[in-house]
């Protein structure tokens, strides 16, 4: 990746003349109303769920079930946390557009002030051919463009500020389906390859030189951050012969028994050294439907396989507030897995039995976690379920006016704050 160049640029509002930001009359109206009224200070915030559907974006108050906004928008809309707890990244082809959910928790000494405003699809966007992965880590957000290998990184909280946004831009030597994230020491963790072949993962120093590298990761896909090691952040990347772990400045291979063992969908928790992943062993299967998941221990590259007795898909995996593994299986149950022992401690009945469709873009259930709650969509029945993880029960079920495809949940507080922001902030209201 010697050809990786680094530039800094300023992105202003990036007003669009067409596409995502301008095609929504409802979104524009909501945006105008929010600007006119301004944010309203409230006593507390209720998480908001953003649901993409064929034709737009719904924003739902998860407590009342009220649809706070319905923003029409064409295309297959993918959703990712933007990192600041207020915004969601919407990728719809060749750009990432910023959606404002209207929740903002502003730190003030040892407490927060809470503000609400109307949700809106904003005029801020990032050009990225074949917009792909979004990674939030350590107070930074990184966007990867599969079509041109573009890597764009900025401070997550800066999305809340008006005016230009300072973005660090880098570019891979060749376009590929990849992922990147900035580590706490300023180095860049990134995959390398082409669309046809990729097996390399690198950590690049600030000057672009290779600080660490592994080439033993065929079909590299997906990443997850785990609890930090002794000297560096810890990151796991999925491969077709067992994952690789970056820890304390070096790559370590997870030894698996199967010659082909793909774990391309990973769910990490920065509270846990263990990463949850899928586990597929049939190289020739067009649609393999495994019943086993894997727990990868980043401290020693060991792993445990857990058979759930029912299959799942890529939107089934999540992590609970204590690092517990969560997997929604075809039988409609949310499996709660002890990250240390691999024991399934609970099976919570959430939705009706379902099965993954042949086309992954067709609607299916999704799982997201915020605080002590898991949010689960039921695409077949157009519902959103709220699961109290401590009680092990569904605490609320909301009807949706549209069939949900993807899901994001915001609380007003950053999803992956910088280390200095993780401590010293109380939660009492003022």
What pLDDT score does 421 carry?
Answer: 54
Q: Could you tell me if residue 183 is inside a domain?
A: yes
Distances (CA, A) of 97 to 22, 117, 127, 211, 338: 11, 19, 9, 32, 37
Instruction: Quick: pLDDT tens for 129-165.
Output: 999 999 999 999 999 999 999 999 999 999 999 888 9
Q: Tell me, what CATH number does 190's domain have?
A: 2.130.10.10
Domain count along the chain = 1
Residue 334, phi then psi, degrees to nearest 5: -95, 110
Ranges assigned E (strand) in 230-370: 234-238, 244-247, 250-253, 266-267, 274-278, 292-297, 302-307, 317-319, 325-328, 333-337, 344-349, 367-370
Tokens matching residue 96? 């990432």
Task: Report how far apart the first and last C-alpha atoms of the chain are (Å, whole number).
Answer: 50
Instruction: Quick: pLDDT tens for 378-414.
Output: 999 999 999 999 999 999 999 999 999 999 999 999 9
Q: Could you tell me if residue 299 is inside a domain?
A: yes
pLDDT above 60 for 285:
yes
Ranges assigned E (strand) in 172-233: 180-182, 188-193, 198-204, 210-214, 221-226
Q: Find the domain containing 205 and state its range.
A: 40-312
Instruction: Quick: pLDDT tens for 35-54.
Output: 445 689 999 999 999 999 99
Q: Could you tell me if residue 338 is inside a domain?
A: no
Q: Could you tell me if residue 365 is inside a domain?
A: no
Q: Could you tell me if residue 372 is inside a domain?
A: no
Q: Could you tell me if residue 417 is inside a domain?
A: no
Its pTM surpasses 0.75: yes
What pLDDT score does 38 carry?
Answer: 67
Q: Could you tell me if residue 243 is inside a domain?
A: yes
What pLDDT score does 108 carry?
Answer: 83
Q: Could you tell me if residue 347 is inside a domain?
A: no
85 vs 77: CA distance, rounded Å? 19
Which of residues 93 and 83 earns the better pLDDT score?
A: 83
């Amino acid at each position: 990746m010697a050809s990786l160049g680094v530039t800094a640029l300023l992105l202003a509002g990036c007003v669009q003349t067409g596409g995502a930001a301008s095609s929504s009359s409802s979104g524009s109206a909501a945006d105008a109303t929010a600007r006119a009224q301004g944010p309203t200070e409230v006593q507390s915030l209720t998480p908001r769920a953003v649901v993409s559907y064929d034709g737009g974006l719904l924003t739902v108050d998860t407590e009342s079930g009220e649809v706070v906004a319905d923003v029409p928008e064409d295309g297959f809309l993918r959703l990712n946390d933007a990192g600041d707890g207020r915004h969601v990244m919407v990728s719809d082809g060749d750009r990432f557009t910023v959606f404002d959910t209207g929740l903002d928790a502003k730190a003030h000494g040892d407490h927060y002030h809470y503000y609400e405003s109307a949700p809106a699809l904003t005029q801020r966007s990032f050009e990225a051919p074949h917009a792909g992965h979004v990674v939030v880590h350590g107070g930074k957000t990184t966007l990867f463009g599969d079509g041109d290998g573009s890597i764009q990184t900025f401070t997550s909280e800066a999305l809340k500020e008006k005016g230009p946004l300072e973005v660090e831009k880098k570019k891979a030597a060749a376009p590929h389906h990849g992922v990147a994230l900035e580590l706490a020491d300023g180095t860049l963790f990134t995959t390398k390859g082409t669309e046809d072949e990729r097996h390399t993962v690198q950590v690049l120093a600030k000057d672009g030189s290779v600080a660490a590298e592994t080439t033993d990761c065929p079909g590299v896909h997906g990443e997850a951050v785990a609890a930090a090691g002794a000297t560096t952040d810890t990151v796991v990347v999925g491969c077709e012969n067992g994952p690789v772990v970056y820890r304390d400045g070096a790559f370590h291979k997870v030894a698996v028994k199967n010659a082909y063992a793909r774990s391309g969908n990973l769910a990490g928790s920065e509270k846990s050294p263990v990463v949850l992943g899928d586990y597929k062993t049939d190289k020739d299967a067009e649609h393999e439907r495994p019943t086993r998941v894997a727990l990868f221990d980043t401290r020693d590259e060991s792993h445990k396989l857990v058979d759930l007795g029912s299959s799942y898909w890529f939107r089934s995996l999540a992590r609970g507030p204590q690092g517990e593994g969560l997997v929604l299986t075809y039988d409609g149950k949310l499996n709660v897995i002890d990250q240390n022992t691999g024991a399934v401690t609970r099976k919570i009945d959430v939705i009706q039995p379902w099965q993954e469709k042949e086309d992954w873009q067709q609607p299916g259930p999704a799982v997201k976690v915020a605080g002590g709650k898991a949010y689960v969509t039921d695409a077949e029945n157009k519902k959103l379920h709220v699961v109290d993880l401590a009680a092990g029960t569904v605490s609320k079920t909301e009807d949706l006016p549209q069939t949900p495809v993807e899901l994001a949940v915001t609380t007003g507080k950053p999803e992956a704050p910088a280390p200095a922001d993780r401590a010293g902030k109380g939660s009492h209201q003022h």
